[in-house]
A = this chain, B = another copy of it.
């Protein structure tokens, strides 16, 4: 069959104007693949959080970074990057921003003049508690979607996945 690339469509249900709605899309193997759906879920949740935290002038990245510094006073940038699962170079601008806005204080260590020693300032703590309220709202939404029944199990699997590829 000299298939001339016409629309041999497998899509059946279509919107009233003939466009393919998301419903009518054929996802093939993607539909049941973890990788793809993990990406979609993360993207969706991330966007939702971005929108929320944008209202208080923050980004998810800055929020996670600030939380980790607050919980681990004196942490270095490399340690931080490993904890946050990002390359250390990605952290340079983030920390720069936090320092510039006076939320984080950065000092050289005495016994190792290469490394920095990060701490959250008083202002940083205030900012953090605002963010925290915002993040809790977001988490509540997520919890509602997941359901209490499955939450713990779901979380545990996420952790295994995060750890699973070293």
Q: Which residues of A contact B (CB under 8 A)?
A: 5-11, 19-20, 22, 25-30, 32-49, 60, 64, 67-68, 70-76, 79, 82-83, 85, 105, 117, 119, 121, 132, 135, 138-139, 141-143, 145-146, 150-151, 153-155, 157-165
Contact = CB atoms under 8 A, between A and B. Distances in A.
A65 to B, nearest CB: 11
A132 B68 CA distance: 39
Contact of A162 (B37, B49, B157): B37
Given A35-B138, A45-B35, A68-B30, A154 B155 contact: no
Contacts of A132: 29
Given A68-B25, A157-B150, A34 B142 contact: yes
B44 A83 contact: no
A17 to B, nearest CB: 10
Contacts of A159: 37, 40-41
A159 B33 CA distance: 11
A29 B158 CA distance: 15
A41 B158 contact: yes
